Structure formats: C-alpha cells, structure tokens
Amino acid sequence: SAVISQKPSRDICQRGTSLTIQCQVDSQVTMMFWYRQQPGQSLTLIATANQGSEATYESGFVIDKFPISRPNLTFSTLTVSNMSPEDSSIYLCSVGSSFGNQPQHFGDGTRLSIL
C-alpha cells in the first residue's frame, strides 16, 4: 500500500493565523481526501482533493476556510485559515483508487492546537 507522509505532525498556533498541512504520497494516486478528527471523536470528511481542479467539499466545510491544492498525483495541501480554538483537531490525509470499493489508506495526521 501507499506510504503517506504528512507535515507537520503537530503544531501549536495562535488564533487568527493560518497553517498549511502537506500530504506526500510515494506513488501516484487517483483520489486524495482530507479528514478532520476532533478530540475523542470519529473522522469527518472535509473534502476530496481533485488533481487539476477545485476540491469537492462536504457539507459544513467551505473553500475559504479550508483551501486545498492538488498540483499533481502525489501531493496535496490543506490550509486551515483564520484559526480559532474550535479548529483544534487532528487533520488526516488519505488516498484511494478510482475503484470505489478499494480501501483508503491514511497518513498519521497533523495534530493542531490553537491557543
């Protein structure tokens, strides 16, 4: 399975600032996804990162708050903009194939704390 690296692994940020999280995959993948996992909770899909086009966002998530880039088939970034303490979460990148039933593979996430 693909090896997924996320940077940074953790960060502590000030309210009102923005942070960009990087996701690098060791092979070309069709689908890349970004999830949020709030403390003690399950994972929630933020958006699907589409190569060469705008990301597809899930209900409750908007591009202005979570801009996403997908410049090629091995890399994506998620920016958390104008952060507030409510954005303190783990943000995870995952990859999948174009065959919907194939399991997704996840990075180890970025643990973000906002003061």
Partner 1 sequence: LAKTTQPISMDSYEGQEVNITCSHNNIATNDYITWYQQFPSQGPRFIIQGYKTKVTNEVASLFIPADRKSSTLSLPRVSLSDTAVYYCLVGPEAGSYQLTFGKGTKLSVIP
- Give the footprint of partner 1 on this chain (CB under 8 A): 1, 4, 31, 33, 41-45, 48, 58, 92, 94, 96, 100-101, 103-109, 111
What are the structure tokens assigned to 33, written together? 């996804």
Toward partner 1, which CB reaches closer, 31 or 112?
Answer: 31
**Which residue, among 16, 19, 3, 4, has the nearest Cα to 111 in the 3D structure?**
19
Write the single-letter amino acid at 61: F
Toward partner 1, which CB reaches closer, 3 or 63?
Answer: 3
* Rg of the chain on CA atoms, in Å: 13
Minimum gap (Å) between residue 16 Cβ and partner 1:
27
